[in-house]
Amino acid sequence: MTAASESGSAGAGASPVTPSQTVGPFFGYALPYEAGPEVVPGWRPDAIRVRGRVLDGAGEPVPDALLEIWQADETGEIPRRPGGLARAGHDFSGFGRCGTDPDGGFWFTTVKPGPIGAAAPYIAVLVFARGLLKHVFTRLYFPEDAAAHAADPLLGDVPDERRATLIAEREGERRYRFDIHLQGERETVFLGF
């Protein structure tokens, strides 16, 4: 690697916004925390469990990714109180964080969010990883909501053949699977935020 050439990109520097940089490989001792994946405790009768893997363009696991989820509660209300870092009793903070394991795996226990407005119920999902110079945004929708999906403003904009990448698979009672493909034939739909 030699010194990179001077920048020539048009409009560069016009925005005051601080640029993104990769989370790198060494966040594991800093960002994940013990109750991070447990938005609600798994023993709660209304808890759902979501698990999945993060995979690269060759289908290989991404063992150094970090996922964050953010969502409304069962009634569609967005939490406005703290509690995402230190889980307190029955307070629902709506925020979860989980680093991937050597197999690219992650999990969360949470509740299924209620719908907001015209949108079908969904969980907002962020993925950070070594090799991602900027995080990616996606959404997790639920397979049992097919009727609501037909009217969902985002899903309507997604080409038919890619829509399934946003919909979790049912694995059992209150259990879902949601794999994230960063690249490749089954690349997950990512959002342009």
Partner 1 sequence: MDKAEASPHPPYLYPGYKSTVLRAPAQELIMPKLGPDSVELTSPVFGHQELGRRDFDLTVQHPGEPLGERIIVTGRVLDTAGRPVRNALVEVWQANAAGRYPHLGDLHPAPLDPNFTGAGRCLTGDDGRYRFITIKPGAYPWGNHHNAWRPAHIHYSVFGTAFTQRLVTQMYFPGDPLFAYDPIFQSIPGEKDREKLIARFDMDTTEPEWALGYQWDIVLGDTPTEAR
Residues within window 130-159 making contact with partner 1, judged by CB under 8 A? 130-137, 139, 153-154, 157-158
Shortest reach from residue 27's CB to Fe ion, in Å = 9
Kindly state whether residue 107 participates in binding partner 1, applying the rule CB under 8 A: no
Shortest reach from residue 14's CB to partner 1, in Å = 5
> For tokens 């594991």, what's the residue?
28
Helix (H) or strand (E) holding 142: none
Q: How many residues does the chain have?
A: 193
Q: How far apart are CA 87 and CA 41, in angstroms?
A: 9
Shortest reach from residue 31's CB to partner 1, in Å = 6
Kindly state whether residue 41 participates in binding partner 1, applying the rule CB under 8 A: no
The two tokens of residue 115 are 């719908």
Q: Of 71-100, which residues contact partner 1 (CB under 8 A)?
A: 71-72, 78-86, 93-95
Shortest reach from residue 35's CB to partner 1, in Å = 11
Kindly state whether residue 104 participates in binding partner 1, applying the rule CB under 8 A: no
Which residue, among 84, 190, 82, 89, has the nearest Cα to 137 in the 3D structure? 190
Which of residues 10 and 30 has its CB atom nearest to Fe ion in the complex? 30
The two tokens of residue 109 are 């226990």
Shortest reach from residue 173's CB to partner 1, in Å = 25
**Which one among 25, 143, 144, 146 touches partner 1, defined by CB under 8 A?**
25
**Which one among 7, 90, 160, 161 touches partner 1, defined by CB under 8 A?**
7
If DSSP codes are grouped into helix, strand and coil, which group holds residue 99? Answer: strand
Beta strands in the chain (DSSP E): 48-55, 65-70, 95-99, 105-110, 122-129, 136-141, 169-172, 175-177, 180-181
Report the first-to-last Cα separation within the chain, whole angstroms. Answer: 31
Q: Of 17-36, which residues contact Fe ion (CB under 5 A)?
A: 24
Which of residues 14 and 172 has its CB atom nearest to partner 1 in the complex? 14
Beta bridge partners of 139: 124
Q: Which residues bind Fe ion (CB under 5 A)?
A: 24
